[in-house]
């Protein structure tokens, strides 16, 4: 007779990571829930503009958080930041998709001629569109299956996250016409995250 094998209980470290990822998932959805609540309550003076700004801001936040996971891993010596990196990257793409969908649907009402003209003639829209185009293959190839298929090329492809982040910050900077305090904060954070990587590479070389 064959004996049934009992499934071994999850290790405490694995259990903590699973709980942490669940909490992170909920935290990533909270800004969207808050934005929806504000719009539904009629508290937003211009709902379309509010949704556009909110989704754009959180795209930047999750994108920079994704880039922060590697330095956090190196400084903390813990493995959990790398286990959160994929989820943060996918949420960055999710919010970017909502940002772009709000623009083409609620702002432009699928007026493709005007949208294409906007992309071609308005620099901040041009770089924003380029950023989301580059993000798409990163989101599509984020699974373990694609990692196995692409092998070493997977890492090369996902280095596109660096120009994506630069384009996203530039998009925000060019969008703001007067007070550039917030774009400057995001630019400084990005410069720090990229600067650390360049420093580590220089030391290794």
Mean pLDDT of the chain: 91
Q: Which range has the top average pLDDT, 85-99, 138-152, 173-187? A: 85-99
Distance of CA 40 to the CA centre of its chain: 25
Q: With contact defined as beta carbons under 8 Å apart, do 168 and 124 qualify?
A: no
89, burial (CB in 10 Å: exposed 0-12, middle 13-18, buried 19+) = buried
pLDDT at 6 over 50: no
pLDDT of residue 10: 56
- Taking the model in full, what pTM does it have? 0.90
Q: How far is CA 178 from the centre of its chain?
A: 26
Tens digit of each residue's pLDDT (9 = 90 or more) over 33-84: 999 999 999 998 999 999 999 999 999 999 999 999 999 999 998 888 999 9
Q: Is residue 15 very low, low, confident or very high in pLDDT (cuts 50, 70, 90)?
A: confident
What phi and psi, each to the nearest 5 degrees, are found at residue 66?
Answer: -60, -45
pLDDT tens digits, 157-168: 999 999 999 999
List pLDDT tens digits, range 63-77: 999 999 999 999 998
**pLDDT score of 41:** 94
């Amino acid at each position: 007779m064959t004996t049934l094998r009992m499934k071994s209980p999850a290790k405490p470290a694995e259990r903590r990571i699973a709980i942490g990822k669940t909490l992170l998932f909920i935290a990533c959805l909270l800004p969207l829930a808050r934005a929806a609540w504000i719009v539904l309550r009629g508290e937003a003076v211009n709902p379309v503009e509010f949704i556009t700004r909110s989704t754009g801001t959180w795209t930047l936040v999750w994108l920079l958080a994704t880039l922060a996971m590697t330095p956090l891993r190196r400084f903390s010596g813990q493995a959990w930041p790398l286990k959160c990196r994929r989820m943060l990257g996918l949420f960055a793409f999710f919010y970017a998709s909502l940002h772009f969908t709000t623009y083409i649907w609620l702002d432009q009402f699928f007026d493709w001629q005007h949208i294409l003209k906007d992309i071609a003639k308005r620099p901040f829209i041009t770089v924003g569109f380029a950023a989301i185009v580059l993000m798409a293959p990163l989101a599509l190839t984020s699974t373990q299956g694609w990692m196995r298929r692409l092998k070493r090329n997977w890492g090369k492809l996902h280095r596109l996250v660096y120009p994506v982040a630069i384009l996203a910050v530039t998009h925000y900077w060019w969008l703001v016409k007067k007070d550039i305090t917030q774009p400057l904060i995001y630019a400084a954070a990005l410069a720090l995250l990229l600067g650390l990587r360049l420093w580590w590479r220089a030391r290794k070389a």
